[in-house]
Amino acid sequence: MNSQPLLEVRHLRVEFPTRRGTLLALDDVSFDIVPGEILGVVGESGAGKSLTGAAIIGLLEPPGRVAGGEILLAGQRIDNLPPEAMRKIRGRRIGAIFQDPLTSLNPLYTVGRQIIETIQVHLKLGAAEARQRAIALLQETGIPAAEQRIDQYPHQFSGGMRQRVVIALALAAQPELIVADEPTTALDVSIQAQIIALLKNLTKEHGAAVMLVTHDMGVIAEACDRVAVMYAGRIVEIGPVAEVIHHPAHPYTAGLMGSIPSMDIERERLMQIDGAMPRLNAIPSGCAFNPRCPQAFERCRSERPDLMPAGATRAACWLHAEQMERAT
């Protein structure tokens, strides 16, 4: 695996101006992804996962805007590019896979026409070559009888097959980075497993970097190399998947892991994290998780922690500062 990051997100800040003041939706988010790596981004609804993906591909819904920090693709800054320049990068160098394939596909055109158009816009191939590439992509994403199905319309495909078409569309121009936003949410478990295998294969075969946004820890465990856990617009823990799952260093991550049912332990009730994610206009001072945290103490209520070393991962939690101070 290449150790030079393909994607670097540095101190990203996203704001939504409203009549009642400015809401801070992403606050000081930093991470990177190297070629051939799948980084999972996980958290409850409203944590800022999809927003991070939208900021990277330049598709923030107005009035949302990048208000600070920077996003670099292969060392080139892309968050401040004019829309036309960003449109050339989107599709060509960054592919996007969204949760609902019906929003990515035009129902009036055959899937072949949509893939061929994308290929021709970005790769400058002739019609016959582009069609051959489109068929090859449909085959690669596991669509049987691709030569016939290329001339069918989106409504003639099942949900799982439509999602494969969207993945073929995202791969049309051989992008270096793929942002996959909940790509398996609406699919049954066996199809999910196939889509995950497909994403893993992409990174192996094409060396693409993948940012996989999901709320499903099972998908993270199966697909990702590293995972970033988000809460209230910030990353609260980031590290290798096995470490974060088996030795969570942040109380929120521990709560997420504890709420996954285990096959080998019988329980009357599932564990849960009491309370709810704070609204953007009511984020508590100190650590945003402190009102829900069973281990919160005075410092958590007044000072906000940044990511710090916590065993094999990094966590934004004052418990680790206490441990570091005691160790020194």
pTM of the model: 0.92
E runs forming strands in the chain: 7-18, 21-33, 38-42, 65-73, 76-77, 94-97, 177-181, 209-214, 226-231, 234-240, 308-310, 313-315
| Number of Cβ within a 10 Å radius of residue 296 | 18
Q: For the chain, which residues make up each domain, given as ranges?
A: 7-93+175-283, 103-174
Structure confidence at residue 189 as a pLDDT band (50, 70, 90): confident
Q: Answer whether 169's CB lies under 8 Å from 115's CB.
A: yes
| Number of Cβ within a 10 Å radius of residue 100 | 15
> Is the pLDDT at 266 greater than 90, yes or no?
no
> Is the pLDDT at 328 greater than 70, yes or no?
no
- In sequence order, which residues have a C-beta less than 8 Å from that of residue 302 and are 6 or more positions away? 285, 286
Please state which of the ranges 16-30, 122-136, 175-189, 281-295 shows the lowest mean pLDDT.
Answer: 175-189
Q: Which residue has the higher pLDDT, 264 or 302?
A: 302
Would you give the DSSP letter of residue 280? Answer: G
> Is the pLDDT at 49 greater than 80, yes or no?
yes
The mean of the pLDDT values for the chain is 91
Proportion of the chain above pLDDT 90, given as a percent: 72
- CATH number belonging to the domain at 7-93+175-283, selected among 3.60.20.10, 3.60.120.10, 3.40.50.300, 3.50.50.60: 3.40.50.300
CA 41 – CA 110 distance, rounded (Å): 33
Closest CA to 180 of 296, 96, 66: 96
pLDDT value for 267? 61
CA 78 – CA 59 distance, rounded (Å): 12
Sign of the dihedral through C-alpha 45, 46, 49, 50: positive
> Is the pLDDT at 1 greater than 60, yes or no?
no
pLDDT value for 268? 67
pLDDT value for 69? 98
> Is the pLDDT at 280 greater than 80, yes or no?
yes
pLDDT by residue (tens digit) across 63-111?
999 999 999 999 999 999 999 999 999 989 999 998 887 788 999 999 9
pLDDT by residue (tens digit) across 202-216?
888 888 999 999 988
> Is the pLDDT at 327 greater than 70, yes or no?
no
CA 16 – CA 217 distance, rounded (Å): 29
pLDDT value for 192? 84
pLDDT value for 262? 64
Q: Residue 253: left (phi > 0), alpha (psi -120 to 50), or beta?
A: alpha
